[in-house]
Structure 1
Amino acid sequence: MDVSILIVNYNTRELTMNCLDSVYASKTDYTYEVIVVDNASTDGSTAAIEERFPEVKLIPNNDNVGFAKANNQGMDIASGRYTLLLNSDTIVQPDTLQTMVSFMDEHPGVGASGCKVILPDGSLDKACKRGFPTPSASFYYAFGFSKLFPHNPRFNQYQLGYLDPNEAYPVDCLVGAFMLVRQEVIQQVGKLDETFFMYGEDIDWCYRIKQAGWEIHYYPATYIVHYKGASSRRKPYKIIYEFHRAMAVFHRKHYRQQYSWLTNTAVYTGIALKFTLSLLKNKLLPSPRAITRPANSTYNQAKPEVK
């Protein structure tokens, strides 16, 4: 088996079905298996997947165990040379698997790679190529310096906005919506850290992969579409909490020993302040709604020119 594709589903039946449709429409010489881990969905996801995609290896959980643990469950039964983390709210292109696996086969020093990730409006999902969230990178990002000086590497350490999204290069970290990882890497550095519930586990994994001496590459020769939840609408409290908790967990795990108590205090205070402001802002937004791919959209969209 060349690729084990892991998809975590939690009450995203239509999105997951669309994602699976796009995967099985792939044009590739490589063999692949699809493993879906369902985190106790109540929207009929498991029955729909079993009926429409009987070839999928389905792992139903009795509880929502989170993104990291669910993916680890998938890795436990995966048999591919590569493992692909793929979000349920994505659409892959027919050439995506072929392009990315070929890239990895041709570059044995690359431990993990990611393609271009675009949003439905054609803009870049900036999380698909990032630097590590060091205290300085986080400061410049949080206080808007990266937007004020988009072409300055010093102020764009996190989102790497000064780099051309249409060119390939090594990066610090990718996004868990699409991350292709060698089996040898997983054996060496371990699976996802389950301390992270649904945010931060991808950055932590990339950090450990690079610490082990592997390269991580952004390769935009192909792309996927990421149908993220509407950021302009109200989010459940747990999502906001876990997003900010992940920041603190990552800093404590990887950076606390490298910085002074003053810097660490400033980081944790900043996270707490951002969490509070996010809660207040969230209360003013409309209620959430389901995000689905339009029924008449196609998988093989024209490749966008992201600038």
Structure 2
Amino acid sequence: MDLSIIIVNYKTHDLTKNTVNSVLKTVKSSYEIFIVDNDSQDGSYQKLESTFQNEISSGKIKLIANDSNQGFAAANNIAIRKSKGNFILLLNSDTIVKKGSIDIPLEYIKHNNDIGAIGPKILLPNGDLDKAAKRSFPNPKNSFYRLFGLSKISKNSNSDNYNLDNLDPDEVYEVDSLVGAFMLVRNETIIEIGLLDEDYFMYGEDIDWCYRIKKAGWKVIYYGKVDIIHYKGSSSKKQKSKLIYEFHRAMYLFYKKHYTDKYSLFTKIIVYIGITLLLIIKLFLNIFKK
């Protein structure tokens, strides 16, 4: 089988249904779909089971119910262990794929044996680029530039420019990191580097995976010639405190895991203090956000 597509559902029945339908309508390669419900407790599992009963009966869709919300990485890993595809696609439940969005990057990675992971251009509903689709690895320097809005003055330096604004979003090139909303990974690569790190609850696992993929000598490719739509949460909406906490905890985990021996003690202390201060500020501002 060419491809195993994994979609994690958590209280997003309608979005998940639309994502799965977009896959069923557009993908021509041989594939299976795993829908992992992370203990939604809102009837999502039962609704999905009813909506896709024919595909479940035929084996095209495998529906998995977790008895607790174990996080995004853990839920994906459950399906990866059961998958049969030569390639694994992590696909968010709030995305819509188009004709060629999956098949074309799949053919590209098939014919380039040095590629470990590939992802397309990702558009927000208003047509803007989701900048997380192509990124440098976070480091103290580009984090400082990003925090103070200085990345625009360093567009010629990928080491300073976290979102790689200097690169054409419609082209194909190697990057450091993709986003977990759409990450197509070679199964051979997963066997070599391991599954997603379950210490990350719902942020950071994609950057961590890409870091390990590149460290093992594989390429990570941004493929800007096809696109998908990502209905990610609007920044104007009030976030749950847990999500804000998990986002900043992921920053801490990544730095601690990969940069402990790379930077001086002073730099690490500054980074950890910065992460903590940002967390406090974001939590405080979120209280007053409508």
- Which of the numbers 216, 223, 226 marks the counterpart of 1:212? 216
Amino acid at match of 1:45: S
Aligned position for 2:39: 40
Listed as ranges, the gaps of 5+ residues in structure 1 are: 287-307
User: Does 1:195 pair with 2:199?
Assistant: yes
Residues 196 and 246, structure 1, Cα contact 8 Å, conserved in 2: yes
Residues 248 and 271, structure 1, Cα contact 8 Å, conserved in 2: yes
User: Does 1:77 pair with 2:82?
Assistant: yes
| TM-score of the superposed pair, with normalisation by structure 2 | 0.95
After the TM superposition, which residues 141-290 of structure 1 pair with which residues of structure 2 at under 5 Å, given as runs?
141-146=146-151, 148-149=152-153, 151-153=155-157, 156-286=160-290
Superposed displacement of residue 285, structure 1: 1.2
CA distance in 2, matches of 1:154, 1:166: 17
1:154–1:210 Cα change, 3 Å? closer
RMSD of aligned Cα (Å): 1.1
- CA offsets per residue over residues 41-73 of structure 1, 9 Å max, x none? 122211111111132201101111000000000
Aligned position for 2:67: 62
Matched residue of 2:145: which SS?
helix
Matched residue of 2:198: which SS?
coil
CA distance in 1, matches of 2:216, 2:41: 40
1:170–1:155 Cα change, 3 Å? closer
Aligned position for 2:7: 7
| TM-score of the superposed pair, with normalisation by structure 1 | 0.90
After the TM superposition, which residues 16-55 of structure 1 pair with which residues of structure 2 at under 5 Å, given as runs?
16-28=16-28, 30-54=29-53, 55=56
- CA offsets per residue over residues 158-207 of structure 1, 9 Å max, x none? 11111111111000010000000001000000000000000000000000
Residues 154 and 161, structure 2, Cα contact 8 Å, conserved in 1: no
- Which of the numbers 92, 98, 103 marks the counterpart of 1:98? 103
Residues 156 and 162, structure 1, Cα contact 8 Å, conserved in 2: no
CA distance in 1, matches of 2:158, 2:173: 18
Superposed displacement of residue 257, structure 1: 1.1
User: Does 1:112 pair with 2:117?
Assistant: yes
Matched residue of 2:213: which SS?
helix
CA distance in 2, matches of 1:88, 1:280: 29
Q: Identity of aligned pairs, percent?
A: 50
- CA offsets per residue over residues 16-58 of structure 1, 9 Å max, x none? 0110110101142x10100011111122211111111132201
CA distance in 2, matches of 1:130, 1:150: 14
Matched residue of 1:165: which SS?
coil
Amino acid at match of 2:265: W
Residues 68 and 198, structure 1, Cα contact 8 Å, conserved in 2: yes
